[in-house]
Amino acid sequence: MGPRFCGPFSIGARIPLTSPPMKATYVRLVSGSRGQYALASLLLLVLAAELTFTARHESQTVDEGIHIYAGYRHWCGDYGINPEHPPLAKLVATIPLLFDHPKNPGLACGSDNSDKSVNFAVGRQFLYSNDARRILTETRSFIGLFPLLLAVLVFVAVRQMFGGWAGLLAMLLVVFEPTVVGHGTLVTTDLAETWCYFAAVYAFYRYTQQRTNVHLIVAGVAAGLALAAKHSGILLLPALVLLAVADLWLRRREPRDELSGREGGLKMQFVRQAMALTVIFIIAFVTLWGFYRFRHAPRPRGYEMSESLSAFIQDGVQYRHAHGLMLTRVIPLLAHVLPKSYVYGMADIAIDNSVGRTAYVFGQLYTTGKWFYFPAAILVKATLGFLLILLLTIPAAGYLWRKKKRETLFLLIPAIFFLAVSMTSKLNFGIRHMLPIFPLLIALAAGAACYLAGRNRVWLYAVILFAAFHSASSLRTFPYYLSYSNEAFGGPQQTYRYLLDTNSDWAQGLIDDRDYLTRNGITDCWIDYYGPLDPDYYGVPCKVLALYPGKRAGALPLPFEGTLIVSVMDYMGYAWGPPEIDPFGRCITCSRLHGSAATLSFSRAALTCRCLQPKAIRRWRRFLPVKDAWRKPWPKRARASHWLRRRWTRTCRLRKFWCKLSNCPKPAPNISNRYAWPKFRVKVIGGAPSAPPAKDSHSSITAH
């Protein structure tokens, strides 16, 4: 008789009766399951407190405005707004708006322009023409139900798979996981998809253990919720097929008398498994149709989308040079069996994935996604304590494979499949897209750690130390969970050096900007922020340096002495492209406000327009779009440069705006007849009058 895994009264092994008594081998915490439930309730309260205080500390992020407005319109039957995200999370978040009745609800239901670029502006107008603070508080409180449900479900699932103390450890890892807490407070679809994905995997696991109609229906509904939460939920369907195959393989390895006494036993199992998957898929698609009111049209009767589905796909192929059988063949066929709004979203994602978007990882800017982006993001954004606990699955591999083979396969297969498919994507926005694999890895790591803790005192102390390190690292970051990076990469203050976009700056820092300016008594300042937000609403007194100027936008006085707050998205060149067109490339940084902005100070600064040198043009030639690229197809080597085409357009507009206000000299003649590239850029040059900065000097950031 070997040691049992995580007994109900202690963290440690139960010694066989023939063994000598152990000297204080295990630590008695709380007796029985009542103590475990009490500790789980305490952890749930801690998570609720984290979510509440973090939500109050963050301004509106980029996507929240359109998600809130789209969810509010979904309740009246208009699914033409923001179709690239299914309605589940948006409907849940906007439940309180049904009782508040916003004073400015917008146009008649279904009459809005469904164009994607217009939707963001409409969402911002809806939010700030009403009580934005109250709307954000209410919607964030309802969307916060998903991380709470995730913590409870992880505790229940891991408790059944590996034991009570393993479930408690897994719940602790979820409660203090910075990525879960940081995105759990935002009105987005990521935590909803994470909960639904794990719920569907666990429900199918329960069905394979106890084949009842109730478990089958629950698995189908959970799969349907995953489809209705986010389009990446469609990856659940092939993952369930792989799990069904794994279940057949496990049953094939069972003794013959347990499987079937006849040769046809395995065939019957195969037929039964196929029928079960068919029923699950049917229930899932019925559930998905239910969220669209079993209506094929995306908008109420009498209203149509601004652009038909076929025209939308054709524009993507012709003007954005998207390609692929999924876009041109499969999606038009799916429009006959799925809600058209859902198919619109699939087409939008397929076009973006085919073209690709900017990726920034480990200080390098790429024109499209890279396969190593998500593994690198996990390495940077996960706590060192969790990574160390995850490594404990290596010494516990023998136990997991011999005693917990089914549980190991059901946790590893969906996680590995989701990660492998994501690594082929060209859309590298942030670690939030990897959230569905976190509870699966946490469950496996908790099971392995609890088994090792039951073997001897050394492993027990190691697990306690790693769990404490995980919790302390998370609490030390409070409330800047969104820009978290572990200690090996410098913490939240240094995240921008390795990852950008939603990993560090999602325009959540305007409240911190206001507090910083108030503490230091600064009123004469400038701000360049990322996102369609309103600094006036948050009480930021700075003048705005933005692409689309607001009512306080203007030109820097010459010479300029003061403070300029710059979003790290702009500061690191993510929103500008190559360093040759980065206007903040030689700014002098005096402090870091938080994980999403930097404060730049100048003793003397001049805003000038400077001509790009031919050397710089040659250096970036392989990224540049050809002249008149919007009128004819790009050459093959330039198709990946759609990112620079967008940045080029933005840079030209901003150069003209700043130069007009600053009386900059007129541009010189083109230095290249082939490339339509901005020949002038806006450059902020900082340095003392007696000692101007060197030509190759770099900005440095010091922690504030």
Q: Three-class SS of residue 265?
A: helix
Look at residue 596 in the predicted model and tell me its pLDDT.
Answer: 61
**Residue 50 or residue 590, greater confidence:** 50
Q: Which of 467, 381, 481 has the alpha carbon at shortest distance from 57?
A: 481
**pLDDT for 83 beyond 70:** yes
The pairing of beta strand 543-544 with beta strand 589-594: unpaired
Look at residue 301 in the predicted model and tell me its pLDDT.
Answer: 87
Q: Which of 91, 93, 82, 192 has the alpha carbon at shortest distance from 135?
A: 93
**Residues near 209 by beta carbon (within 8 Å), at least 6 away in sequence:** 406
564 bridge partner residues: 526, 600
Longest dimension (CA), the chain: 93
Model confidence at 20, in pLDDT bands (50, 70, 90)? very low
First to last CA, the chain: 58
Integer Cα distance of 485 and 380 in angstroms: 5
Give the number of other CB atoms < 10 A from CB of residue 495.
Answer: 25
The chain-wide mean pLDDT, for the chain, equals 79
**Residue 338 or residue 545, greater confidence:** 338
532 bridge partner residues: none
Q: Which of 349, 312, 356 has the alpha carbon at shortest distance from 234?
A: 349
Integer Cα distance of 658 and 643 in angstroms: 23
Amino acid at residue number 378: I
Q: Which of 381, 491, 463, 371 has the alpha carbon at shortest distance from 421?
A: 371
| Range from 134-138, 143-147, 329-333, 578-582 carrying the lowest mean pLDDT | 578-582
Give the number of other CB atoms < 10 A from CB of residue 33.
Answer: 12
Give the number of other CB atoms < 10 A from CB of residue 179.
Answer: 26
Integer Cα distance of 132 and 309 in angstroms: 33
Instruction: Check: CB of residue 399 under 8 Å from CB of residue 140.
Output: no
Q: Which of 595, 165, 168, 179 has the alpha carbon at shortest distance from 387?
A: 179
The pairing of beta strand 543-544 with beta strand 562-567: unpaired
User: What is the residue whose two structure tokens read 């012709």?
Assistant: 318
**pLDDT for 202 beyond 80:** yes
**Residues near 182 by beta carbon (within 8 Å), at least 6 away in sequence:** 54, 481, 482, 483, 484
The DSSP symbol for 74 reads H
Which structure tokens are listed for 317?
């192929």
Which structure tokens are listed for 381?
């954004």
**pLDDT for 237 beyond 60:** yes
Integer Cα distance of 625 and 579 in angstroms: 17
pLDDT tens digits, 86-114: 999 999 999 999 998 899 998 889 888 88
Q: What is the DSSP secondary-structure string of 677-699?
A: --SEEEEEEE--SSSPPPTT---
Q: Report the C-alpha dihedral over residues 596, 435, 431, 395, rounded to 10 degrees.
A: 120
The DSSP symbol for 372 reads T
Classify residue 522 as exposed, middle or buried by CB count within 10 Å of its CB (0-12, 13-18, 19+): middle
Integer Cα distance of 470 and 442 in angstroms: 12
Instruction: Check: CB of residue 365 under 8 Å from CB of residue 573.
Output: yes
Phi (first) and psi of residue 684, to 5 degrees: -100, 115
pLDDT tens digits, 213-235: 999 999 999 999 999 999 999 99
Q: What is the pTM of this model?
A: 0.82
| Range from 462-471, 514-523, 584-593, 648-657 carrying the lowest mean pLDDT | 648-657
**pLDDT for 149 beyond 90:** yes
